[in-house]
Amino acid sequence: MLNFEKSKQAFKESSQYMPGGVNSPVRAFKNVGGDPLFIEKGAGSHIFDIDGNEYIDYVLSWGPLILGHADPKVVKDLQDATTRGTSYGAPTLLETELAKKIHEIVPSVEMMRMVSSGTEATMSAIRLARGYTHRDKIVKFVGNYHGHSDSLLVDAGSGVATFNVHDAPGVPKDLAYDTLTVAYNDVAGIKNVFKAHGDEIACVIVEPIAGNMGVIPGTKEFLQTLRDLTTESHSLLIFDEVMSGFRAAYHGAQDLYQIKPDLTTLGKVVGGGLPVGVFGGRRDIMEYITPDGPVYHAGTLSGNPLAMTGGLSTLEQLNDDLYKQMFARTDELTRGIKQAADDHHVPVTVHHVGTMWSYFFNKGPVNNFADVQKSDVDYFAKFFKALLQHGVYTAPSQFETNFMSSKHTKEDIQKTIAAFNAAFDDVSEG
Ligand SMILES: *Cc1c(COP(=O)(O)O)cnc(C)c1O
């Protein structure tokens, strides 16, 4: 058995000063039981906790680290950037350089604003959509997560699901009232909402590939219906690609499905592990932002040189070959997991798109949040802990996504599949 004594002590102390001992709730391991691991360092595909235990890491800071931990070029570029100062609150060449790079990879983003988190990106995109259309209502899907701003924290998936928060205390009723929610992948449901409210809807915001209730791809019909309905009703379609951008596919889910949203939000990979979010899209809409237009947006540290360097250094290293390798590894891993579960007669549904993957202890099909809820969370909790013992760190929740990085080797994949087999053995033996 691994020793977690130092993490246990550290958690006791952090709990004195931070609610739940953490700065973001899912880190607290609440829904798998036990105490969270405190991390000392990361290197490539591996992380090390403060007790000296080593794990193959598939959380990767919840998505950003597509090049793994402490990528040598990212580290070097950040070190160099730091010596020139960390922020000026004035324009730098780096911001335009990153904006050009993002536009090159995601061409629908003609103009953009850099912010410091995914939450800020979606919040700002929603305000822009409301300002542009002069409408108040927005539509989101049950189990989709778009950060923790008021309008979007309704039926918001993972973190919220894990902690059983159905409505969101602290969100004014009037704001919640303007957020209409529909089941994910429910074509008839969204058509009904547009029939009733079409001319009041500012925008539809959607994760084209849902990643905050485990991985659930949107169907082509569903996403095309959203495109058609919003166009007909003169409301805007926002693809929240904070997770799926640079992950589901190099050019994002919008390239995979060949559907062009009006606005896109990005985050996670776009900062390469530093705090960056982006909202952008059609030029005529983005020109509504201050100082060109009337919709206010600002940020003291928006586009700061360190964050821009983290993003640039990461995006510059991405290419088709790297994606081919990561996709093949994800394929191999998820096939191995399915096989391991089958061999142990454990009902499982394994989903993966690009470098995003998740396993549900659920015989399936898993197409929306109601399906996800039928998963065996007790089995998951036991399994997660067994997997840790075998040196594999996956998301500590049945409702979260795991990731692949460019640093995961064939050997890592083989070791991980062996660990899954061993964990299934342990759990079935009780
Ligand atoms: C993570 C995430 C967010 C929020 O981003 P933060 O940087 O955590 O604020 C928004 N939307 C999606 C789809 C996400 O996965």
pLDDT of 116 strictly over 50: yes
**Tens digit of pLDDT for each residue in 128-160?**
999 999 999 999 999 999 999 988 887 776 555
Half-sphere exposure of 376 (CA within 13 A, CB side): 14
CA distance 184 to 144: 8
Catalytic residue among 49, 240, 262, 412: 240
Q: Break the chain into its structural domains and give their ranges.
A: 5-70+319-406, 72-315
Rounded to an integer, the average pLDDT of 51-71 is: 98
Which protein residues are within 6 Å of ligand 1, measured from CB? Answer: 117-119, 122, 145-147, 207, 211-212, 240, 242-243, 267, 277
Q: State the distance from the centre of ligand 1 to the C-alpha of 47, rounded, in angstroms.
A: 22
Preceding amide of 365 cis, omega within 30: yes
State the Cα angle at 65 between 105 and 402, rounded to 5°.
Answer: 100
pLDDT of 165 strictly over 50: no
CATH architecture of 5-70+319-406: Alpha-Beta Complex (3.90)
Structure tokens at 294: 């009337």
CA distance 254 to 106: 8
Least confident range of 80-89, 169-178, 255-264, 355-364? 169-178
The pLDDT mean for the chain works out to 95
CATH number of 72-315: 3.40.640.10
